[in-house]
Structure 1
């Protein structure tokens, strides 16, 4: 089971970093696209930057929150039948 855990952890870290890279590329594309259309106001720059940071933070912590919810649900509804496997 330890090997599977290591593989899943590696996949999780890859997905997290790949997601952050994609979010960064998209936010830079939006900034460049807005700059090409018109002059950028400080409000637009702050809005796009803030949205990208919020998306990156949520993308980073979402798997952790799902894992906490999964382990907490095991307290309410055990993952073994009544009487156990003894």
Structure 2
């Protein structure tokens, strides 16, 4: 543990930021898993309805810097492709 007051404060701030970031990432992963579960069950209507919500969660994680922009775009692209394959 740090001895200097400023270093102690830094540790506290980093811990708060870490827990805040975990919430965004966890929420994003949860929505992705739900959508993939719908896709696995061939539930096209539910999957189409859940897709924009999942996109919002991914975009929020990108916006907060939890994941890289390219990773977010890649995930959205793959999920869209899977949902479109259900409809076809």
Q: Please give the TM-score of this superposition, normalised by the length of structure 2.
A: 0.46
Q: Please give the TM-score of this superposition, normalised by the length of structure 1.
A: 0.47
Give the number of the structure with larger relative contact order, counting CA–CA contacts within 8 Å between residues 6 or more apart.
1
